[in-house]
A and B are shown apart, each in its own frame.
Chain A
Amino acid sequence: MDTFLQLTVSGLSTGMIYALAAVGFVVIYKASDVINFAQGDLLLFGTYLIFFSIVQLNLPWTVGIMLTLLIAVAMGLLIERVVLRPLIGEPIISMIMVTIGLSSVLRALANALWGPQPRTFPSFLPDGVISIGTAVVGFDRVLAIPLGLALLVLLGFFFRRTRDGIAMRAIADDQQAALSMGISIPRVFAIAWAIAAVTAAIGGMMLGNIVGVSQSVAAIGLRVFPVVILGGLDSIGGAVLGGVIIGLLEVYTGGYIGHGLNLIVPYFVLIIMLMVRPYGLFGKPIIERV
């Protein structure tokens, strides 16, 4: 029972960390039906940027965080301008592939700027653990939960209620019609990429605190792929729920079975669930009206 409690608590916190890393995927998907393979590298930049601000520039924490978010926004805008904008109107697969290219470029850039050596920064979240019954979990990890929920609420509101949120979903459906409404695709894409970069920066900062500043942060981007698929590619709530489910699955398999099965069991469960709900838990179905 103790084990179960401990695993559940860890699984939940890991799941929320995944969710934090995953919302960026969802935002990009919502605006363009594209899976962003560079999301992991945006996370990586989040991690390195906070390192850069705090350690290299020696800024106080609050300023450092602001600067990180600011640079993240700038990066999002730049990526949109240079890489995505020329592809407006091209098939989805081109946009997806371009993010694979982008990922490689960003990785190289991070490497050129900060080198391959893992780094650390003084932890900016209070150290220590929180006990829940017999289970313990690091405070830094728990923080992912309120952060994740806050993003869920904010982005949920943005997509349902605001003009630009609706415009974003409109673009994903039909770029030409969106243009004819006077929606500026570049502007909306820019907003989407800025949001994605900011959520990635937040996730990256958390991860930097948890796993250290190293290239391995980018690998988390890929682990999150099943999370968004499970939740439904275009659902923020799905990302959170998917994150929690995958987090729990991983930790239960790791804790009760082992053998590295925790890497693949989520995939089995995922595919079985998808056979029942082909668009994930909350994803939008393809509408085939003829």
Chain B
Amino acid sequence: DDASDEGLRTIKIGAIFDLTGATSDVGVDYADGVRGYVEWVNAQGGIAGHTIDLFYQDYAYQVDRAEQLYSQFVQEGAVVFMGWGTGDTEALRLRITEDQIPFSSASLSHVLGDAVESPYNFLVATTYSDQFKIVLRWISEDYQARGGTGAPQVALMHNASPFGMSPWVYGGEAYAAEIGVVVTRYEMSRGATDFTAEFTRIRQAGAEYVVFQNTSAPVSVAIRSARSLGIDATFVCLNWCANALLMRLVGEDAEGLVGAMPYAPLTADVPGVQPLRDYLEERGESYTERTNAYTQGWYTFSIFAEGLRRVIDAGQDLTGHNIKIALESIRDLDMAGVTIPITFTATDHRGSKGLRLFQVENGTWTPLTDFLTAP
């Protein structure tokens, strides 16, 4: 009858967001991106005629809460789950394998892309270590282009967490040695009001490039410390600080910053961001306020939507296993310039291996390079 037909035609998706916790500065935009996409796609008639029912909750970056919400949503029938941080994604990794729930997260740690270790985790953006490698290669080229001799000196300033360490431990260290870039690590402690100590050492070491793996707020404090000390180096932000927020926070000091962006900012001149801008404008919001976390949330879900569509089109049941297989069949999915085309295989769940460097010019992120792929 009608009701059961209706029931069949909704797809339940679970999601946890960080709206109040430690990473809420970017978590909110990501969440809004996901919710935006769901609303948008439902308004378009859903995925192959199925509407999406998104169960979501703030988990305040607390692992226990994430676990609770996960089991609640799955019990209520969620077939796909959108995670967020490294801690919760790790904590749920084995559970989702047993429950066969395809899982995405904004944590781009390398292990999560290993389809053997974590068969149900899908990485829809470039891993931190791939990002770092791309940046290192660019640095080495840039350095030579500027006429530098010898090995370029790079300082990696990172959050003291798995997220912060990830670029380094999963290949970054080895790759730096391989291409002859000298990288020194500096931890950024929580709640610091000042990074003079670190930059004093960076200056002594004579680093020409400083790479940040942290969120925008602490990076902005660091950049100010650096500017007041007059540090003369190129600053490069990886994913979670390369955004509009950072620009707002540091103001004029942002000029010249380089950002490694797996997902294009909403201000970028690529066709893929147009639907997002339209959607936001329709709701009376200005897209310039939004960070690329919004794009990332939106498109992360869109890729899973592609997987769902393929299962439905093949007339199969919407089980986690089927969705996983469908996702693994995605090859070179065109992302309209937002990211490089996405590919998953049965052995490799790192969907994207490329990113684009942007640079702040006159207060806007402007493309510095075309898409670069990981070595």
Residue numbers of A with Cβ under 8 A of B are 3, 6-7, 10, 13-14, 17, 107-108, 111, 115-120, 129, 136-138, 141, 207, 210-212, 214-216, 219-220, 222-223, 250-255, 258-260, 262-263
Contacts of B251 in A (CB 8 A): 120
- B166 smallest CB distance to A (angstroms): 16
- Please indicate the chain A residues that have their CB under 8 angstroms from the CB of B224 in the complex: 138, 210
- A118 x B196 contact (CB < 8 A): no
Q: Tell me, in angstroms, the Cα distance from A216 to B159 when the chains sit together.
A: 14
Asked if B25 and A210 make an inter-chain contact with CB atoms under 8 angstroms apart, the answer reads no
Q: With A and B bound together, what is the CA distance between A99 and B191 in angstroms?
A: 20
Residues of chain B within 8 A of A258, CB atoms compared: 186-187, 198, 201
Residues of B within 8 A of A (CB): 19-20, 24-25, 27-28, 160, 186-187, 189-191, 193-198, 200-201, 204, 216-218, 220-221, 224, 228-230, 245, 248-249, 251
User: How long is the Cα–Cα vector from A130 to B262 in the complex, in angstroms?
Assistant: 40
Flag if B217 contacts A255 (CB, 8 Å). no
Q: Give the interface centre of A116, A136, A212 by most chain B CB atoms within 10 Å.
A: A116
CB-nearest residue of chain B to A116: B24
Q: Say yes or no: A14 contacts B20, CB within 8 Å.
A: no
User: Chain B residue with minimal CB distance to A137?
Assistant: B228
With A6-B196, A262-B189, A262-B197 known as contacts, the answer to whether A120 contacts B24 (CB < 8 A) is no
Would you list the 5 A-B pairs with minimal beta carbon distance, nearest first?
A254-B197, A219-B191, A116-B24, A260-B187, A10-B196
Contact B230 A118 (CB under 8 A): no
A116 close to B201 (CB less than 8 A): no
Question: Which residue of chain B has the shortest Cβ distance to A138 in the bound complex?
Answer: B228
A260 touches B20 (CB 8 A): no
Interface on chain B toward A: helix, strand, loop, or mixed SS?
Answer: helix
**Are A220 and B191 closer than 8 Å at their CB atoms?**
yes
* 9 A/B residue pairs, CB under 8 Å, sorted by A: A7-B200, A14-B194, A111-B24, A116-B20, A116-B27, A212-B221, A222-B191, A255-B196, A255-B200
B193 touches A210 (CB 8 A): yes
Q: Is the CB of A220 within 8 A of B201?
A: no
**CB-defined contacts of B217 to chain A, threshold 8 Å:** 118, 211-212, 214, 216
- Complex Cα–Cα for A286 and B27 (A): 47
Let me know if B200 and A3 touch, CB within 8 A.
yes
Cβ contacts under 8 Å, B195 to chain A:
254
Do the beta carbons of B191 and A116 come within 8 Å of each other? no
Q: Are A116 and B198 in contact (CB under 8 A)?
A: no
The chain B residue with its CB closest to the CB of A221 is: B191
The residue among B24, B221, B228, B229 with the most chain A CB atoms within 10 A of its own CB is B228
A13 to B245: give the CA distance in the assembly, Å: 27
Q: Are A141 and B249 interface neighbours, CB within 8 A? A: no
On whether A220 and B216 interact (CB within 8 A), knowing A211-B221, A255-B200, A258-B187, the answer reads no
In Å, the complex CA distance between A118 and B217 comes to: 7
Residues of A within 8 A of B19 (CB): 116
> A118 and B216 in contact (CB under 8 A), knowing A6-B200, A108-B20?
yes
The chain A residue sitting closest to B18, CB to CB, is: A116
The answer to whether residues A136 and B20 also contact, given A10-B197, A210-B193, A216-B217 and a CB cut-off of 8 A, is: no
Shortest distance from the beta carbon of A41 to any chain B beta carbon, whole Å: 13
User: A31 to chain B: closest CB distance in Å?
Assistant: 26
How far does the Cβ of A103 sit from chain B's closest Cβ, in whole Å? 13
Contact of A207 with B193 in the complex, beta carbons under 8 Å? yes
Q: Complex formed: what's the CA distance from A3 to B229 in Å?
A: 12
- Please, which residues of chain A bring their CB within 8 A of the CB of B204? 3
Chain A residues with Cβ below 8 Å from B196 are: 6-7, 10, 14, 137, 251, 255
Closest to B28 in A: A116
Known: A117-B245, A129-B228. A10 touches B194 (CB 8 A): yes
Contact residues in B for A118 (Cβ distance below 8 Å) = 25, 216-217, 220, 245, 248-249
Q: Determine the distance from Cα of A210 to Cα of B194 in the docked complex, in whole angstroms.
A: 9
Nearest CB on A from B28, distance (A): 6
B28 close to A216 (CB less than 8 A)? no
User: Is the pair B190, A219 in contact by a Cβ cutoff of 8 Å?
Assistant: yes
In the assembled complex, which residues on chain A have CB atoms less than 8 Å from the CB atom of B28?
115-117
> For residue A206, which residue of chain B has the nearest CB?
B193
A216-B193 Cα distance, complex, nearest whole Å: 10
Q: Are A211 and B193 in contact (CB under 8 A)?
A: yes
Residues of B within 8 A of A10 (CB): 194, 196-197
CA distance A136 to B218 in the complex (A): 21
Contact of B197 among A115, A137, A216, A250 (CB under 8 A): A250
Minimum Cβ distance to chain A for residue B93 (Å): 26
User: How far is it, in angstroms, between the C-alpha of A111 and the C-alpha of B220 when the chains are bound?
Assistant: 20
Q: A254-B189, A255-B198 provided; 18 other pairs, C-beta below 8 A?
A: A6-B229, A10-B196, A10-B197, A111-B20, A115-B28, A117-B25, A118-B25, A120-B249, A136-B230, A210-B221, A211-B217, A212-B220, A212-B221, A220-B191, A251-B194, A262-B189, A262-B197, A263-B160
